[in-house]
Amino acid sequence: MRAEERSGWLLTAPYAVFLLAFAAYPVCFALALVFLRWDLVTAPSFAGLDNVRLLSTDARFWQAVANTFVFLGLHLPLQITTALTLALALNRPLAFRAFWRAAFFLPVVISGAVVAILWNALYATDVGLINGLLVRAGLSPVPWLTNPSTAMPAIAVMVTWKNVGFYVVIYLAGLQYIPRSCQEAIELDGASAWQRFRHLTLPLLLPQTILVVTLSTINGFQLFLEPYVMTGGGPLRRTLSVVLYMYTNAFSYQKMGYAATIGVALALIIGAVVAVQHRVIGRSEAL
Q: pLDDT value at position 286?
A: 55
Which of 157, 71, 160 lies closest to 108, judged by CA?
160
| Spatial separation of the C-alpha atoms in residues 224 and 239, rounded to whole Å | 10
Which of 240, 268, 251, 260 lies closest to 50, judged by CA?
260
Query: What is the DSSP-derived secondary structure letter of residue 197?
Result: I
Q: pLDDT value at position 1?
A: 60
Model's pTM, two decimal places? Answer: 0.90
Q: pLDDT value at position 193?
A: 79
C-alpha 276: how far from chain center: 17
In total, the chain counts a number of residues equal to 287
Instruction: Give the 3-state secondary structure of 50-93.
Output: HHHHHHHCCHHHHHHHHHHHHHHHHHHHHHHHHHHHHHHHHCCC
In the chain, the amino acid numbered 3 is: A
Q: pLDDT value at position 285?
A: 58
pLDDT tens per residue, range 131-159: 999 999 999 999 999 999 999 999 999 99
| Spatial separation of the C-alpha atoms in residues 233 and 244, rounded to whole Å | 7
Residues near 219 by Cβ (< 8 Å), separated by ≥ 6? 163
Surface-to-core class of residue 45, CB atoms within 10 Å of its CB (0-12 exposed, 13-18 middle, 19+ buried): exposed
Which of 160, 150, 155 lies closest to 116, judged by CA?
155
Which of 65, 238, 259, 52 lies closest to 145, judged by CA?
238
pLDDT tens per residue, range 180-204: 777 777 777 777 878 888 888 888 8
Residues of the chain with pLDDT under 50: none
